[in-house]
Amino acid sequence: MAAPLTPADSPVATPSPGWTRRLPKDERVFLWLLAVSVAAMTAFTIAWVAGFGDQNAPDRSVVVTPDEFRATVGAFAEKYQGEDGRVHVPPGTEAYMMAQRYAFFPELVLKAGEPYTIKIASTDVLHGWSLVGGGQNLNLEVAPNHVFELTLTPEEPGEYLIICNEYCGLGHHLMRGRIIVEE
Ligand code: CUA
């Protein structure tokens, strides 16, 4: 009868005592790289916000029902809609934009150099409202049942695309709107 096997019979070398508490070299390098990346990204973010973070966050938000908001936007659009189907907002007037799967309504025509307040709300699910360019860098989340008031002064004439940057359904990638800034 063979003698029972002991750990000394194992073909695998017995690890030295304390091996569970030591990190192998590649793990230590990885942790250092991780720490350096986190520090670099944190420093970059702080520097970026300090240097370029002059964004127009919404000043105010108001509770509204989807039906109320839809009616308000409809009346606003009807009042100022031009023959081109776009809504020409007189300076000093409050403008509205509705996010609804999968479009932003209406298309607004604004005058360069004039301050506007745009009231934005969703009538269904959470959307994103993102406009980049023309001296603006705006990114909002547009939640249902809340109107966000955005103040902006468009500086450069041009046609600006608004995209939805919050996944809102199968047509999310097609969801867009437009703001036209005229001289
Ligand atoms: Cu609306 Cu994505």
pTM of the complete model beyond 0.85: no
How far is residue 55's CA from residue 122's CA, in Å, rounded to a whole number?
21
Q: Which helix (H) or strand (E) holds 25?
A: helix 25-52
- pLDDT of res. 103: 93
Residue 164 in contact with ligand 1 by CB distance below 6 A = yes
- CA of 168 relative to ligand 1 center, distance in Å: 4
Query: What angle (nearest 5°) sits at the alpha carbon of residue 116, between those of residues 111 and 122?
Result: 115
Residue 126 tokens read as 């959470």
User: Residue whose CA is closest, atom 1 of ligand 1?
Assistant: 127
How far is residue 164's CA from residue 99's CA, in Å, rounded to a whole number?
9
Residue 168 in contact with ligand 1 by CB distance below 6 A = yes
Q: Which residue has the tokens 């944190």?
A: 42
Residue 130 in contact with ligand 1 by CB distance below 6 A = no
- pLDDT of res. 58: 63
Instruction: Please write the tens of the pLDDT for every residue from 2-16.
Output: 677 776 777 787 777
Residue 166 in contact with ligand 1 by CB distance below 6 A = yes
- pLDDT of res. 37: 98
Instruction: Please write the tens of the pLDDT for every residue from 30-50.
Output: 999 999 999 999 999 999 888
Residue 48 in contact with ligand 1 by CB distance below 6 A = no
